[in-house]
């Protein structure tokens, strides 16, 4: 009987340590931006979204960034969301200096998801600068499709 308790204790301790280590280095700073070292995609909470993308407290929606942006509405439990995350990370690095890529956890930021009528995920919002209209896409995509949408919607390059 003692062996079972010892095994259970070791297993529980390991899980606690794993959870603690999984969150190491990922802290939300005062501007609502989750600081994930080495990541090209920036996680935003509602405060960060209001500071970097759209100020949702205003009546009009004016994009606040100086580069075109992608906002990935995602959740940790969503399989398709997790499959596109590495692709978006790679594209954020590839297009570094040309676009910015953000992600918003819909479970933590329900009001933001509601404001953009996100009812199915993954949902990806493309926000061009200038006169371009934002475009919301729903569903998983491969890198080639993302690249094509970045080029046409965000960077204005014709096919």
pLDDT tens-digit readout, 9-63: 444 443 333 333 333 344 444 444 444 556 899 999 999 999 999 998 888 888 9
**Active site residue ranges:** 78, 81
Strands 42-44 and 69-74: unpaired
- Helices then strands, counting H and E runs in the chain, come out as 5, 7
Q: Could you read off the pLDDT of 133-143 as tens digits, one per residue? A: 999 999 999 99
Q: What domain range includes position 96?
A: 27-154
Is residue 48 one of the residues assigned to a domain?
yes
16 part of a folded domain:
no
Write the CATH number for 74.
3.40.30.10
- Residue 31 placed within a domain: yes
The reported pTM is 0.76
Sign of the four-CA dihedral 72, 78, 82, 84: negative
- b vs e for 132-150, b when ≥16 Cβ sit within 10 Å of the residue's Cβ? eeeeebeebbeeeebeebb
How far apart are the C-alpha atoms of 22 and 142, rounded to whole Å? Answer: 27
């Amino acid at each position: 009987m003692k062996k079972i308790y010892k095994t259970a204790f070791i297993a529980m301790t390991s899980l606690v340590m794993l959870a603690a280590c999984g969150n190491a280095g990922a802290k939300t700073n005062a501007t609502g931006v989750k600081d994930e070292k080495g990541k090209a995609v920036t996680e935003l909470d509602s405060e960060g979204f209001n500071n970097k993308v759209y100020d949702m407290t205003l009546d009009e929606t004016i994009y606040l960034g100086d580069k075109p942006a992608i906002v990935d509405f995602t959740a940790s439990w969503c399989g398709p969301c997790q499959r596109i995350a590495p692709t978006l990370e790679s594209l954020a690095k590839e297009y570094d200096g040309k676009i910015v890529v953000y992600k918003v956890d819909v479970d933590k930021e329900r009001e933001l998801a509601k404001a953009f009528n996100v009812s199915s995920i993954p949902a990806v919002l493309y926000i061009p600068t200038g006169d371009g209209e934002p475009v919301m896409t729903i569903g998983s995509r491969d890198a080639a499709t993302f690249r094509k949408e970045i080029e046409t919607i965000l960077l204005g390059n014709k096919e």
